[in-house]
Structure 1
Amino acid sequence: MPLTSKQLSKKTTQMPTDYAKTEIRKNMINSKRKIRLRRRLTVMTIIFALIAGSLMVMLIKQKSVLADKEKQKIELQHDLAKQKEKQDDLKIQIAKLKDDDYIAKLARKDLFLSEDGEIIFSIPKASEKDKKKTDSKE
Protein backbone atom coordinates (compact mmCIF):
# COMPACT_ATOMS: atom_id res chain seq x y z
CA MET A 1 0.00 0.00 0.00
CA PRO A 2 1.49 3.31 -1.07
CA LEU A 3 1.88 6.10 1.51
CA THR A 4 -0.05 9.32 1.11
CA SER A 5 1.58 12.71 1.42
CA LYS A 6 0.16 13.20 4.92
CA GLN A 7 1.42 9.90 6.12
CA LEU A 8 4.74 10.57 4.49
CA SER A 9 5.08 13.95 6.16
CA LYS A 10 4.32 12.40 9.57
CA LYS A 11 6.93 9.77 9.22
CA THR A 12 9.65 11.89 7.73
CA THR A 13 11.44 14.65 9.50
CA GLN A 14 12.39 17.68 7.58
CA MET A 15 15.75 19.20 7.85
CA PRO A 16 15.38 22.89 8.45
CA THR A 17 17.11 24.86 5.78
CA ASP A 18 18.15 28.47 6.10
CA TYR A 19 15.22 29.52 3.96
CA ALA A 20 12.77 27.54 6.10
CA LYS A 21 14.22 29.01 9.28
CA THR A 22 13.87 32.56 8.00
CA GLU A 23 10.31 31.91 6.84
CA ILE A 24 9.39 30.42 10.21
CA ARG A 25 10.94 33.45 11.93
CA LYS A 26 9.07 35.84 9.60
CA ASN A 27 5.80 34.04 10.27
CA MET A 28 6.35 34.21 14.04
CA ILE A 29 7.26 37.90 13.86
CA ASN A 30 4.21 38.62 11.72
CA SER A 31 1.91 36.73 14.07
CA LYS A 32 3.36 38.63 17.07
CA ARG A 33 2.89 41.91 15.19
CA LYS A 34 -0.72 41.02 14.44
CA ILE A 35 -1.32 40.19 18.10
CA ARG A 36 0.26 43.49 19.20
CA LEU A 37 -1.74 45.35 16.56
CA ARG A 38 -4.99 43.78 17.75
CA ARG A 39 -4.14 44.66 21.35
CA ARG A 40 -3.31 48.26 20.42
CA LEU A 41 -6.50 48.58 18.39
CA THR A 42 -8.52 47.12 21.25
CA VAL A 43 -6.96 49.53 23.75
CA MET A 44 -7.45 52.47 21.38
CA THR A 45 -11.08 51.47 20.81
CA ILE A 46 -11.70 51.25 24.55
CA ILE A 47 -10.06 54.64 25.12
CA PHE A 48 -12.06 56.17 22.28
CA ALA A 49 -15.29 54.69 23.66
CA LEU A 50 -14.53 56.09 27.13
CA ILE A 51 -13.76 59.54 25.76
CA ALA A 52 -16.86 59.52 23.54
CA GLY A 53 -19.00 58.34 26.45
CA SER A 54 -17.72 61.04 28.77
CA LEU A 55 -18.29 63.67 26.09
CA MET A 56 -21.85 62.45 25.59
CA VAL A 57 -22.50 62.61 29.34
CA MET A 58 -21.15 66.17 29.47
CA LEU A 59 -23.27 67.12 26.47
CA ILE A 60 -26.43 65.75 28.07
CA LYS A 61 -25.68 67.55 31.34
CA GLN A 62 -25.04 70.81 29.51
CA LYS A 63 -28.32 70.48 27.61
CA SER A 64 -30.12 69.94 30.90
CA VAL A 65 -28.46 72.98 32.47
CA LEU A 66 -29.22 75.03 29.38
CA ALA A 67 -32.90 74.03 29.48
CA ASP A 68 -33.08 75.02 33.16
CA LYS A 69 -31.45 78.36 32.40
CA GLU A 70 -33.90 78.97 29.55
CA LYS A 71 -36.85 78.31 31.87
CA GLN A 72 -35.34 80.63 34.45
CA LYS A 73 -34.78 83.29 31.78
CA ILE A 74 -38.42 83.09 30.65
CA GLU A 75 -39.63 83.38 34.25
CA LEU A 76 -37.38 86.37 34.87
CA GLN A 77 -38.55 88.05 31.67
CA HIS A 78 -42.13 87.52 32.79
CA ASP A 79 -41.32 89.02 36.20
CA LEU A 80 -39.55 91.93 34.51
CA ALA A 81 -42.61 92.63 32.38
CA LYS A 82 -44.80 92.63 35.51
CA GLN A 83 -42.41 94.98 37.29
CA LYS A 84 -42.31 97.36 34.32
CA GLU A 85 -46.11 97.36 34.21
CA LYS A 86 -46.21 98.06 37.94
CA GLN A 87 -43.66 100.85 37.50
CA ASP A 88 -45.75 102.41 34.73
CA ASP A 89 -48.84 102.26 36.97
CA LEU A 90 -46.89 103.93 39.77
CA LYS A 91 -45.69 106.67 37.42
CA ILE A 92 -49.30 107.29 36.40
CA GLN A 93 -50.30 107.35 40.08
CA ILE A 94 -47.53 109.90 40.81
CA ALA A 95 -48.72 112.06 37.93
CA LYS A 96 -52.28 111.90 39.26
CA LEU A 97 -51.15 112.80 42.78
CA LYS A 98 -49.65 116.01 41.45
CA ASP A 99 -53.17 117.09 40.40
CA ASP A 100 -55.07 118.97 43.15
CA ASP A 101 -58.50 117.92 41.87
CA TYR A 102 -57.54 114.23 42.05
CA ILE A 103 -56.24 114.64 45.61
CA ALA A 104 -59.49 116.32 46.65
CA LYS A 105 -61.53 113.53 45.05
CA LEU A 106 -59.36 110.89 46.73
CA ALA A 107 -59.72 112.62 50.13
CA ARG A 108 -63.50 112.68 49.78
CA LYS A 109 -63.63 109.03 48.81
CA ASP A 110 -61.18 107.49 51.28
CA LEU A 111 -61.11 109.93 54.21
CA PHE A 112 -64.71 111.18 54.03
CA LEU A 113 -63.58 114.82 53.90
CA SER A 114 -66.12 117.30 52.68
CA GLU A 115 -66.25 120.84 51.46
CA ASP A 116 -68.26 123.50 53.23
CA GLY A 117 -71.96 122.75 53.06
CA GLU A 118 -71.62 119.14 51.85
CA ILE A 119 -73.20 116.23 53.68
CA ILE A 120 -71.56 112.81 53.32
CA PHE A 121 -73.67 109.69 53.35
CA SER A 122 -71.78 106.49 54.07
CA ILE A 123 -73.34 103.36 52.62
CA PRO A 124 -71.93 100.18 54.20
CA LYS A 125 -70.57 97.57 51.86
CA ALA A 126 -72.62 94.40 51.52
CA SER A 127 -71.18 91.48 53.45
CA GLU A 128 -70.96 87.97 52.08
CA LYS A 129 -74.07 86.87 53.99
CA ASP A 130 -76.07 89.69 52.43
CA LYS A 131 -74.78 88.75 48.99
CA LYS A 132 -75.83 85.13 49.49
CA LYS A 133 -79.29 86.22 50.60
CA THR A 134 -79.77 88.44 47.55
CA ASP A 135 -78.48 85.69 45.26
CA SER A 136 -80.88 83.12 46.74
CA LYS A 137 -83.85 85.50 46.35
CA GLU A 138 -83.19 85.95 42.68
Structure 2
Amino acid sequence: MPQIQRSNNIRPINLSNDDLSAEKKFKLRVRQVHRRRTSILMLIFGGISLAFGGQLYQAHQIKAQTQTQLVQQQQKLHNARSRSNDLHAQVRQLHDPEYLDNLIRYRFNYSRDGEIIYNIPSEANKNLNF
Protein backbone atom coordinates (compact mmCIF):
# COMPACT_ATOMS: atom_id res chain seq x y z
CA MET A 1 0.00 0.00 0.00
CA PRO A 2 1.41 3.35 -0.95
CA GLN A 3 2.01 5.64 1.86
CA ILE A 4 0.93 9.24 1.77
CA GLN A 5 3.66 11.59 2.55
CA ARG A 6 2.87 14.59 4.59
CA SER A 7 4.63 17.77 3.99
CA ASN A 8 6.58 19.17 6.80
CA ASN A 9 5.27 22.62 6.09
CA ILE A 10 4.52 23.65 9.59
CA ARG A 11 4.13 27.35 10.25
CA PRO A 12 5.34 28.70 13.47
CA ILE A 13 2.66 29.97 15.80
CA ASN A 14 2.61 33.72 16.10
CA LEU A 15 1.03 34.72 19.39
CA SER A 16 1.10 38.45 18.81
CA ASN A 17 -2.11 40.50 18.77
CA ASP A 18 -1.51 41.50 15.14
CA ASP A 19 -2.40 38.04 13.93
CA LEU A 20 -6.11 37.25 13.79
CA SER A 21 -7.18 34.25 15.68
CA ALA A 22 -9.04 31.45 13.96
CA GLU A 23 -12.32 32.56 15.48
CA LYS A 24 -11.94 36.09 14.14
CA LYS A 25 -11.02 34.76 10.71
CA PHE A 26 -14.11 32.55 10.75
CA LYS A 27 -16.36 35.45 11.72
CA LEU A 28 -14.83 37.62 8.99
CA ARG A 29 -15.39 34.88 6.42
CA VAL A 30 -19.02 34.43 7.54
CA ARG A 31 -19.61 38.19 7.26
CA GLN A 32 -18.13 38.23 3.73
CA VAL A 33 -20.30 35.30 2.66
CA HIS A 34 -23.40 36.98 4.09
CA ARG A 35 -22.57 40.23 2.31
CA ARG A 36 -22.09 38.39 -0.97
CA ARG A 37 -25.36 36.48 -0.55
CA THR A 38 -27.21 39.66 0.40
CA SER A 39 -25.79 41.42 -2.66
CA ILE A 40 -26.79 38.57 -4.94
CA LEU A 41 -30.30 38.47 -3.46
CA MET A 42 -30.64 42.24 -3.85
CA LEU A 43 -29.55 42.00 -7.49
CA ILE A 44 -32.07 39.23 -8.13
CA PHE A 45 -34.79 41.19 -6.34
CA GLY A 46 -33.88 44.33 -8.30
CA GLY A 47 -34.04 42.41 -11.60
CA ILE A 48 -37.42 40.94 -10.76
CA SER A 49 -38.66 44.38 -9.66
CA LEU A 50 -37.50 45.92 -12.94
CA ALA A 51 -39.21 43.18 -14.94
CA PHE A 52 -42.51 43.58 -13.10
CA GLY A 53 -42.20 47.36 -13.15
CA GLY A 54 -41.76 47.23 -16.91
CA GLN A 55 -44.84 45.06 -17.22
CA LEU A 56 -46.84 47.49 -15.08
CA TYR A 57 -45.67 50.44 -17.16
CA GLN A 58 -46.53 48.65 -20.39
CA ALA A 59 -49.99 47.73 -19.04
CA HIS A 60 -50.54 51.36 -18.05
CA GLN A 61 -49.59 52.54 -21.54
CA ILE A 62 -51.93 50.02 -23.17
CA LYS A 63 -54.74 51.09 -20.85
CA ALA A 64 -54.18 54.75 -21.76
CA GLN A 65 -54.24 53.93 -25.49
CA THR A 66 -57.40 51.88 -25.05
CA GLN A 67 -59.04 54.74 -23.13
CA THR A 68 -58.16 57.15 -25.95
CA GLN A 69 -59.55 54.77 -28.56
CA LEU A 70 -62.70 54.30 -26.48
CA VAL A 71 -63.29 58.05 -26.30
CA GLN A 72 -62.74 58.37 -30.06
CA GLN A 73 -65.13 55.51 -30.81
CA GLN A 74 -67.76 56.96 -28.46
CA GLN A 75 -67.48 60.28 -30.29
CA LYS A 76 -67.90 58.51 -33.64
CA LEU A 77 -70.92 56.65 -32.26
CA HIS A 78 -72.44 59.91 -31.03
CA ASN A 79 -71.90 61.52 -34.45
CA ALA A 80 -73.38 58.51 -36.24
CA ARG A 81 -76.43 58.49 -33.97
CA SER A 82 -77.05 62.20 -34.46
CA ARG A 83 -76.67 61.75 -38.25
CA SER A 84 -79.07 58.82 -38.11
CA ASN A 85 -81.60 60.90 -36.16
CA ASP A 86 -81.27 63.70 -38.73
CA LEU A 87 -81.82 61.26 -41.59
CA HIS A 88 -84.87 59.76 -39.88
CA ALA A 89 -86.27 63.28 -39.44
CA GLN A 90 -85.69 63.99 -43.15
CA VAL A 91 -87.44 60.74 -44.11
CA ARG A 92 -90.43 61.71 -41.93
CA GLN A 93 -90.50 65.15 -43.59
CA LEU A 94 -90.40 63.62 -47.07
CA HIS A 95 -93.67 61.86 -46.29
CA ASP A 96 -95.31 65.27 -45.75
CA PRO A 97 -96.71 66.46 -49.13
CA GLU A 98 -96.42 70.16 -48.28
CA TYR A 99 -92.73 69.85 -47.32
CA LEU A 100 -92.04 67.77 -50.42
CA ASP A 101 -93.73 70.38 -52.62
CA ASN A 102 -91.64 73.20 -51.08
CA LEU A 103 -88.44 71.16 -51.41
CA ILE A 104 -88.99 70.42 -55.10
CA ARG A 105 -89.86 74.04 -55.82
CA TYR A 106 -86.75 75.32 -53.99
CA ARG A 107 -84.16 72.82 -55.24
CA PHE A 108 -85.26 72.32 -58.80
CA ASN A 109 -86.89 75.73 -59.48
CA TYR A 110 -90.27 74.25 -60.27
CA SER A 111 -93.19 76.59 -60.29
CA ARG A 112 -96.93 76.33 -60.02
CA ASP A 113 -99.14 77.36 -62.87
CA GLY A 114 -98.98 81.10 -63.35
CA GLU A 115 -95.87 81.65 -61.19
CA ILE A 116 -92.72 83.28 -62.50
CA ILE A 117 -89.38 82.46 -60.85
CA TYR A 118 -86.78 85.19 -60.64
CA ASN A 119 -83.22 84.14 -59.85
CA ILE A 120 -81.27 86.85 -58.03
CA PRO A 121 -77.52 86.30 -58.17
CA SER A 122 -75.76 86.04 -54.86
CA GLU A 123 -72.23 87.17 -53.97
CA ALA A 124 -70.79 83.77 -54.91
CA ASN A 125 -72.29 83.90 -58.40
CA LYS A 126 -71.09 87.43 -59.30
CA ASN A 127 -67.87 86.38 -61.00
CA LEU A 128 -69.31 83.44 -62.91
CA ASN A 129 -69.64 83.92 -66.66
CA PHE A 130 -72.51 81.84 -67.99
- Alignment TM-score, normalising by the size of structure 1: 0.66
Q: Which residue does 1:122 correspond to in 2?
A: 119
Quote the Cα distance in structure 1 between the aligned partners of 2:81 and 2:71: 15
One-letter code aligned to 1:108 = R
One-letter code aligned to 1:122 = N
Q: 1:107: Cα distance to partner?
A: 0.6
64, 72, 89: which is aligned to 2:69? 72
Quote the Cα distance in structure 1 between the aligned partners of 2:38 and 2:81: 63
- Name stretches of at least 5 consecutive residues in structure 2 with no aligned partner: 1-14
Quote the Cα distance in structure 2 between the aligned partners of 1:124 and 1:104: 23
SS in 1 for 2:49: helix
Cα distance change of structure 1 residues 106 and 58 upon mapping to structure 2, 3 Å threshold: same
Q: 1:36: Cα distance to partner?
A: 3.1
1:88 and 2:69 aligned = no
Quote the Cα distance in structure 2 between the aligned partners of 1:50 and 1:56: 10
Quote the Cα distance in structure 2 between the aligned partners of 1:61 and 1:128: 58
41, 49, 54: which is aligned to 1:52? 49
Q: 1:37: Cα distance to partner?
A: 2.8
- Alignment TM-score, normalising by the size of structure 2: 0.69
**Which 4+ runs in 1 deviate beyond 6 A?**
none
**More helix as a share of residues:** 1
Number of corresponding residues? 109
- Name stretches of at least 5 consecutive residues in structure 1 with no aligned partner: 1-8, 11-22, 131-138
**Percent identical residues:** 26
